[in-house]
Structure 1
């Protein structure tokens, strides 16, 4: 049985699990459309036709089952209306006036969860039909947080774990707690979207002049330069807390607002509320305050559930865990022996999660996810043709393309790498990467100018695993994260001195460590042979506000626009003279 997973929301895309339980393809629609965070819900961008087509083309056998990464309309309606009615019963009767604001009758307002979900189902059904998959491939529904949790745990290779998901919202939830036990996963707690820590962090992001669902990482980065604002901290403590009896997160961000049942949301009201609280405070202090608060609440939440279950292995997924400083805080908890952050913790992982959960429901465990280069790959000829059309000269170097890149880095150049399959998830891990010297303290300014990026975000290091103990505070709990850039760790004194370009304001970095059998190690080997350096900058191959490059022509055009003159394409090197 092979399963095709499809998701139509923010980070729409598709994934395929083969009949042997191996994930063989996964990609977001944005890689093809070139629309950042491509959202395929009705009224947004086009449905995820191209990501589905890619996965089907990669399948060695016919697809026998389809998994939609969303709850069935009737199930969602029951849950969403129960939440809405509970809010009204608790005194939030002003929510009933939302029908008039939306131009709906009361019955239409109550039908909102089901009617909007049916439109999403219709969209995905049209994608399935357009791909030539008929009734012989039955459809399974996997709700948003079941997909987050299942994809993270079932592909982790771990036997037992506490599985926690936190994000903005999805299918009326903003989070969940589950127990993973030898291939089965049982949900023990649901956090309604009313209590969303993701929405809280997003509201602070917007109130600080940044963009929602786009710039939360910048807010996290700014936090390193600020101090706690006690007034804002007090306000946060009044709005969110951990229920010591149930272990649930309780939030009051929407208290008193006129807001309908899921999926209705009033981010403008949340943002205005936070702007009023921020007042004239320094933005870096605001960032530091909400970051510190998020870390504390989530740490207390996780600790409560670890103690309740007796588990010491933690698996996390959902957009909140894109926050690498939060992940570092969780790794420091004495109750955690191992932390696994799903590499596509954002909604980019929903399609795969849906496919994996559906596959496992048939009684066979999926294989752990090891290789993340499961996106589109292209032949050397396709790559050479694309780069030559952009004015590059393509050659096959005798000593190897990686050696050429190492030599260019030794000369202080910025280079790029376009090899193998595109990476699954938001991090460039060497297949779709821009690489630069880490010893030059001016390199972040140079890269930001070349790539037209903001100066806020720090750059991440790539290094060999065998050098890690000399470079970073190696935390065994984070063994998985060191390979997928999903957690920040303190840098050693030597790293801060020798490689200032990858050290953040708080002395941490978000490293990617390479094993000796990975081809990219040859780049660092050559750099070390020439200069003694063994750390380089690794950032995603894209210009500002664009998705990571996918097709060869995307890579060629981006490299030319950025002024990158040396690009590895497979075993070849493209040079722009």
Structure 2
């Protein structure tokens, strides 16, 4: 049985393909169109999935969309009626789009798919899955658990913003929901907006900024903005928010509460903004942990799965794991809307079609390391790079690993394009920029000279799974970079009294451990454990770096500049390589050195993309 899942028309459009319950392919549209968070119908992602499966659309048994547009339209209409006459202007602006596209989305989807198969049986084979059920299915069905509580938290689906389901075998039953406008995701996004970052993309910045501040506004948030019950359920005080009726997230009353208007994107970040970030991060963590404790008490199930945009808050995830309310935790790596495409397909296969789950031995999940995107054979790589004007040498596997490890140990930044592209927002050693974590200048160098982004943003360590506990306070799998833990005390550097007294961004350049490039100002790190079973070549590179340096850790950041989607093809990688200050690039077995390239091909990537 072959099922195609699709998410589109909000943000992060994607497609995913199942064959007999096995995930064959999944990818976001942005990687092909090169438009960050592309929300258009995912034509290129669907083309890729079908090609990867060797299929035409006529071979597909069901096409499943990740939410139910009519119910979403109902929520929009009821919200405006509830708040009338406030918000008429945004209602007037939104309604034509909804009437033209969203309300009649079934017809829109049919017309889009006609280019692949005009005679496809849309009446019976086009299915729709509720938004939070898509998220829940994406979290539970690929997980290693036979039974789990499934907690989904995001901005909003149709009505639900937070939902609880119970997964057992091939069943998944929705149990509880919190409805719009009461939303943890929208609360966090409101502070993202208030601190001057883009909603739906800048939440990572807010999380990265939080450790530079003190949570001195947390009491204000608890007292005025959110009412949390003993079981973790919550309500927001809508007097402070405008997202129901207006064209912005917060309002003048919110500004008064926090003592200033929202920061503009080009304004300086102050200690106050850092303290606000620390405050909302602390409150978010408290609510997530309280929710989890309530669910463990109510259902008694030892495992929890997470999905939805809030599940990408890896700091909260790490604290939830350490809290111990649940014995084990599994998070869908594509936890946002892109993962809804996969979840919709899985829900159709197991729930609509009644098919059993494939039993998995051991602790590894069904996501295959999330390496579900395109790969390129060596001959194709060479042809593509040659056509792009690249100068390269072709090395055997051992020589490539040796040369790259030596370059990293010498302090060079390495573009690493190997195997299948990752599905989800994180680069996991398939489309990565790598560096030496021992360098005290690597974090700042990568941010300012390679990524062209704010200097405060942290980088993640990739560590050999077998060595993780010797370097970090984590001895469990974290293959998707979705858990934060501290560097172990033995690897930390003692701070001087002067260094301890520093505040805010002044802390940035103080080395805190043996691996300062991946140690945040609070000694934390967003950890990826690397497994030989899912990415043998990346595991081999880190192993060779360890043999040369004694350090089983690399800096790993996504292969892109700020505002650009992660690279997909060899050509994407070469363009980015020529547009920033990476010294080495390995694509398959091709090795490129910056000094060998034609200077005429150098690009101005610093200003090529909109700020993220």
TM-score (norm 2): 0.84
Q: d(CA) in 1 for partners of 2:89 and 2:129?
A: 33
Q: CA deviation at 1:343?
A: 0.7
Aligned partner of 2:6 in structure 1 is 6
Q: d(CA) in 2 for partners of 1:550 and 1:178?
A: 35
Q: CA deviation at 1:569?
A: 1.4
Q: CA deviation at 1:52?
A: 1.0
Change (3 A) 1:383 1:278: farther
- Report the 3-state secondary structure (helix = DSSP H, G, I; strand = E; otherwise coil) of the residue aligned with 2:212: coil
- Report the 3-state secondary structure (helix = DSSP H, G, I; strand = E; otherwise coil) of the residue aligned with 1:470: helix
Change (3 A) 1:273 1:418: farther
Aligned partner of 1:169 in structure 2 is 156
Q: CA deviation at 1:392?
A: 2.3
Number of equivalences: 547
Aligned partner of 2:514 in structure 1 is 498
Change (3 A) 1:527 1:365: same
Aligned partner of 2:166 in structure 1 is 179
Q: CA deviation at 1:418?
A: 0.7
Q: d(CA) in 2 for partners of 1:211 and 1:566?
A: 32
Q: d(CA) in 2 for partners of 1:28 and 1:428?
A: 13
- Report the 3-state secondary structure (helix = DSSP H, G, I; strand = E; otherwise coil) of the residue aligned with 1:198: helix
Change (3 A) 1:204 1:439: same
Q: 1:566 touches 1:574 (CA, 8 Å); kept in 2? A: yes
Aligned partner of 1:135 in structure 2 is 120
Query: Superposed, which structure 2 residues align to 1:56-205 within 5 Å?
Result: 56-61=50-55, 62-71=59-68, 73=70, 75-76=71-72, 88=82, 94-99=83-88, 102-103=91-92, 117-132=102-117, 134-136=119-121, 138-205=125-192
Query: Superposed, which structure 2 residues align to 1:378-389 within 5 Å?
Result: 378-388=376-386, 389=388
Q: 2:465 touches 2:530 (CA, 8 Å); kept in 1? A: yes
Q: 1:174 touches 1:197 (CA, 8 Å); kept in 2? A: yes
Aligned equivalent of 2:226, options 235, 240, 251 = 240
Aligned partner of 2:592 in structure 1 is 574
Q: d(CA) in 2 for partners of 1:32 and 1:398?
A: 28
Gaps of 5+ in 1: 41-46, 89-93, 260-264
Does structure 1 residue 531 correspond to structure 2 residue 528?
no
Q: d(CA) in 2 for partners of 1:227 and 1:441?
A: 25
- Report the 3-state secondary structure (helix = DSSP H, G, I; strand = E; otherwise coil) of the residue aligned with 1:501: helix
Aligned equivalent of 1:252, options 230, 233, 237 = 237
How big is each residue's C-alpha offset from its partner over 1:67-102, in whole Å with a ceiling of 9 and x where there is no partner? 0111152x44566667777xx4xxxxx435545764
Change (3 A) 1:150 1:340: same
Q: d(CA) in 2 for partners of 1:564 and 1:72?
A: 44
How big is each residue's C-alpha offset from its partner over 1:386-439, in whole Å with a ceiling of 9 and x where there is no partner? 333243223124634222211111211111111111101111111101110110
Change (3 A) 1:256 1:574: closer
Q: d(CA) in 2 for partners of 1:60 and 1:101?
A: 45
Q: 1:386 touches 1:556 (CA, 8 Å); kept in 2? A: no
Q: d(CA) in 1 for partners of 2:247 and 2:394?
A: 52
Aligned partner of 1:274 in structure 2 is 254
Q: 1:443 touches 1:501 (CA, 8 Å); kept in 2? A: yes
Does structure 1 residue 365 correspond to structure 2 residue 356?
yes
Q: d(CA) in 2 for partners of 1:405 and 1:394?
A: 13
Q: CA deviation at 1:241?
A: 2.1
Aligned partner of 1:43 in structure 2 is none
Does structure 1 residue 220 correspond to structure 2 residue 207?
yes
Single out whichever of 163-172 and 491-500 deviates more from structure 2.
491-500
TM-score (norm 1): 0.89
Q: d(CA) in 2 for partners of 1:176 and 1:291?
A: 21
Q: CA deviation at 1:381?
A: 2.5
Change (3 A) 1:195 1:392: same
Change (3 A) 1:49 1:271: farther
Q: CA deviation at 1:346?
A: 1.2
Q: 1:253 touches 1:270 (CA, 8 Å); kept in 2? A: no
Q: d(CA) in 1 for partners of 2:90 and 2:412?
A: 57
Q: CA deviation at 1:552?
A: 1.3
Aligned equivalent of 2:580, options 562, 566, 569 = 562
CA RMSD, 1 decimal: 2.5
Gaps of 5+ in 2: 261-270, 359-365, 493-512, 597-612
- Report the 3-state secondary structure (helix = DSSP H, G, I; strand = E; otherwise coil) of the residue aligned with 1:282: helix
Q: CA deviation at 1:129?
A: 1.5
Aligned partner of 2:321 in structure 1 is 331
Does structure 1 residue 50 correspond to structure 2 residue 44?
yes
Q: 2:397 touches 2:589 (CA, 8 Å); kept in 1? A: no
- Report the 3-state secondary structure (helix = DSSP H, G, I; strand = E; otherwise coil) of the residue aligned with 2:238: coil
Q: CA deviation at 1:130?
A: 1.9
Q: 1:206 touches 1:271 (CA, 8 Å); kept in 2? A: no
Does structure 1 residue 488 correspond to structure 2 residue 484?
yes
Q: CA deviation at 1:441?
A: 0.7
Q: CA deviation at 1:512?
A: 1.2
Q: 1:435 touches 1:538 (CA, 8 Å); kept in 2? A: yes
How big is each residue's C-alpha offset from its partner over 1:10-48, in whole Å with a ceiling of 9 and x where there is no partner? 100111011x211111110100111111122xxxxxx21
Q: CA deviation at 1:2?
A: 0.6
How big is each residue's C-alpha offset from its partner over 1:162-221, in whole Å with a ceiling of 9 and x where there is no partner? 101111112222121111112211111112120011111111111112111111111111
Change (3 A) 1:254 1:373: farther
Aligned partner of 1:44 in structure 2 is none
Change (3 A) 1:254 1:149: farther
- Report the 3-state secondary structure (helix = DSSP H, G, I; strand = E; otherwise coil) of the residue aligned with 2:84: helix
Q: d(CA) in 2 for partners of 1:133 and 1:59?
A: 20
Q: 2:64 touches 2:348 (CA, 8 Å); kept in 1? A: yes
Q: d(CA) in 1 for partners of 2:248 and 2:74?
A: 27
Change (3 A) 1:3 1:83: same
Change (3 A) 1:178 1:258: closer
Single out whichever of 524-533 and 318-327 deviates more from structure 2.
524-533
- Report the 3-state secondary structure (helix = DSSP H, G, I; strand = E; otherwise coil) of the residue aligned with 1:520: helix
Q: CA deviation at 1:446?
A: 1.1
